[in-house]
Structure 1
Amino acid sequence: MNTLIVIAHPNPSSFNYSLLDRVTHYLEELNYNVCVRDLYKLKFNPVLMKDNYQTFSQSEVEQEILEEQKFIIDADLLVYIFPTWWSGLPAILKGYFDRVFTNGFAFNMTKDGLNGLLNDKRAIIFQTTGQPEKIAKQLQLVKSMGNSIDLGILARCGIEVIIHKYFYSVPFIDHEERRKMLLEVEPIINLLQKES
């Protein structure tokens, strides 16, 4: 199975990169072909310009975006790893969705709404946050983030989200707690085996 991992964190020493290492390790143990797109290392430009949007609707897409779309086309499984900033996606990842998930590629716009075109894709999301779980749920931040990403972006493009896993209070926990969090990755990846 071909897997595309998209990571959006500027710090290679972060817990997000520990997640990347662990996810990659378990997927490769299952003999998955893994491709990683590190948006910060790529210096991905997240800015959607008005002219670009107009040309997207005419299917005149920039070469760098066509390359990112090819990675998605080749993948059966999409994995997203990112931190929570201001109760949402990092700007670089939001811009990735804005620029890569274009009309005619990820969806078709119709008078009745969006028609998803990536119906053969599944996704796993690993999202970190500094918020304690109790507060994030009490303020309904988890629900709003899930609705925005899982339903508002991926599902509308036809992608089935298998699991959206949140890791809470990451900057405030010790090494042992982080180690325990990393142990939660394996059973999530093993879900893929059961569903195959």
Structure 2
Amino acid sequence: MNHLVVYAHPHPESFNHAILETAVKALEDKGHQVFVRDLYALDFQPVLKPQDTAAMKSGNIPDDIKTEQEFITKADVITFIYPIWWSGLPAILKGYVDRVFAYGFAYAYGEGEIIQLLKGKKGLIINTHGTPKEIYDEMGMTASLTITSDVGIFDFTGIEPLDHLLFGNVSEYLEEAALKDILKQVEEKINSLC
């Protein structure tokens, strides 16, 4: 299977990068072909500009958007790996969704209905955040994040959400054993799903 991993964290030494490495290794160990789109390393331009929408309406998709859409088209499974910042996606990933999951590529509107153009694909989301999980659970943030990303992005476009791993209380103060446990959970989840 072809796996596309869209990764958004600016620091190569981050724990999110360790999650990325763990996910890629688990997939490759199972014989899958993996393509990683590290949005910061690519210096992906996240701002949807008027010229972008004008170009797409005329059928002239900007090259950077077209490249990312080709990766999505080829993928059987799409995995997003990113930290939760200010209760949502990092700006670079939000911009990726804004520009790449465009009308006419990821979705369209029919007679009173949404046409999901990415049906047949599956999706996985892996997040970290600094707030303890229990606090996010109690305030409804965990449920909100799941709805926003799994339903609002994946399901809206026809991608079947496989799972959404949310790891809370992740910071430089977390003990090494706890970090290793998270990586083990990532590996086990990928092995069980793919």
TM-score tier after normalising by the smaller chain length: over 0.9
Could you list the per-position Cα deviations for residues 146-186 of structure 1 after superposition, in whole angstroms to 9, with x for gaps in the alignment? Answer: 11111011101000010000111000411111011111012
Instruction: Verify the 8 A CA contact 1:59 1:104 in the aligned structure 2.
Output: no
Name the structure 2 match of 1:165: 165
Percent identical pairs in the alignment equals 40
Quote how far apart the aligned CAs of 1:113 are: 4.2
Name the structure 2 match of 1:85: 85
Structure 2: segments with no counterpart, 5+ residues: none
Kindly provide the amino acid, as one letter, of the partner of residue 185 in structure 2.
Answer: E
Q: Secondary structure at the match of 2:64?
A: helix
Count how many residue pairs are aligned between Structure 1 and Structure 2: 193
Instruction: Verify the 8 A CA contact 2:55 2:62 in the aligned structure 1.
Output: no
TM-score, with normalisation over the residues of structure 2?
Answer: 0.95
Quote how far apart the aligned CAs of 1:89 are: 0.2
Q: Secondary structure at the match of 2:119?
A: coil
Structure 1: segments with no counterpart, 5+ residues: none
Segment drifting more, 58-67 vs 3-12: 58-67
Q: Distance in 2 between matches of 1:59 and 1:108?
A: 15
TM-score, with normalisation over the residues of structure 1?
Answer: 0.94
Q: Secondary structure at the match of 2:9?
A: coil
Instruction: Verify the 8 A CA contact 1:57 1:103 in the aligned structure 2.
Output: no
1:181 lines up with 2:162 in the alignment:
no
Q: Distance in 1 between matches of 2:116 and 2:54?
A: 20
Q: Distance in 2 between matches of 1:60 and 1:110?
A: 22
Quote how far apart the aligned CAs of 1:111 are: 4.9
Q: Distance in 1 between matches of 2:179 and 2:70?
A: 34
Q: Distance in 1 between matches of 2:59 and 2:154?
A: 21
CA distance 1:80–1:102, shift in 2 (3 Å): same
